[in-house]
Structure 1
């Protein structure tokens, strides 16, 4: 059984269209057909039902689709492991984290960690907090650093960073001793309050603010990195 047969079969099984599979793999359609035929001959079982211009997986094809995906995944992991060993790297760790973490303290921590563990290769996936848990669940990342707590009770989670919540307002021309008294009621009525730059705190925070102040102008924060976090 050849690797290219499995590749052609997996894409053809996903699309149920040999022409589309050929386009995705940058092959000719006859090449896809030959790969499927060779795989069927090797397995001694039909994998597709051919009806005019359409193909559908047989029962055996549906079963082998899962097996083929596992074989290819194992193949790719083995190749990656050999590549890392040849570079003197013993293991690769994939960390999924939010743009906010990437832009703040984590790069300094990771830089120190990489220096202390040269036999490890670190790969960073930047994704919004709501998607990080799924990346770990689907084994696309080994570690997730998120602004949201996990939904899974059996998962281990630790608090890495705490930061104070601060109110930022335009700077006046005075120092703390000579400056005018800050009237928070007036501030919330005068200036626009930018919200929702953090995915966990704002519902409760806005509720508490509205109980104490009149918020005349609000604007939801939009992150330039695809509105993440």
Structure 2
């Protein structure tokens, strides 16, 4: 099994078509198909289910896709580390971040880092906290920005400033005299749009207030919740930084004051894992900028 074959296989797994994958790899279709047949023969399993319209991965193919991504990333990391040792800080910094902070907080720090280390390029991946942890554990990224809590026995982390949760909806969805603050008990019977991570805590607060929440939608994607709110489907309850995701929006943003709901983010990285020079410098910069211990 060759590295080239793994790269070919990953291209097919992403494109789901031999022709499209061959075009992306800048090779012709016949040798690409031949390499996949040789790979399947070597492994003794079927990796691809071929149909007229597209290609699907078998169960074995899905396993190989996951492992191949890890292998390719490990090879790339090794190359970067060797180059960094020879040429100073360069290579690629691989970061994963939750959507809300990825579009607001992270760019600010990447700009500062790029000014100091212009030879470093970036691989930025977005997802919910669970997906970021998966990428981190697999070695596909080195640094993650997630919401706490995380397992402190597995991860080192720098805590970010506390962040309030806010209600976001069209102006006629919420009726209140105060446009900046909002009492939690006023969401009774209102359709709620919640991130899955906060569903339990919001439901508990509703129970304490004496009512069962009317949850219209739970999602792992904050942007989707804001779009639904923009369409007038309900009230989205999201971290305050999430309001930066929709520019020039008619949505009304109101802080929840009774009770105040807080969420905390953190920069995390694996314990007992050697970081690249670029990742080490990024964490140092972040630590100094936030004043963390």
**TM norm structure 1:** 0.55
2:125 maps to 125
1:157 maps to 157
Gaps of 5+ in 2: 45-66, 169-173, 227-237, 239-293
**How far 1:200 sits from its partner (Å)?**
3.3
Relative distance call for 1:210 and 1:116 in structure 2 (3 A) is same
Distance 1:81 1:95 in 2: 16
2:106 maps to 106
Give SS of 2:96's match: strand
Distance 1:31 1:221 in 2: 42
Does the aligned pair in 2 maintain the 1:92–1:122 contact within 8 Å? Answer: yes
CA RMSD of aligned residues (A): 5.1
1:211 maps to 208
Q: For residues 1-229 of structure 1, what are the structure 2 equivalents within 5 Å?
A: 6-8=3-5, 24-25=21-22, 27-29=28-30, 33=34, 47=42, 76=76, 90-151=90-151, 153-166=153-166, 169-170=174-175, 172=177, 185=185, 187-189=186-188, 192=190, 194-197=192-195, 199-214=196-211, 217-220=214-217, 223=221, 225=223
Rg larger for = 1
**Larger strand share, 1 or 2:** 2
**How far 1:160 sits from its partner (Å)?**
1.8
Gaps of 5+ in 1: 40-45, 50-65, 177-181
Equivalent residue pairs, number: 190
**TM norm structure 2:** 0.46
Does the aligned pair in 2 maintain the 1:8–1:32 contact within 8 Å? Answer: no
Distance 1:175 1:206 in 2: 23
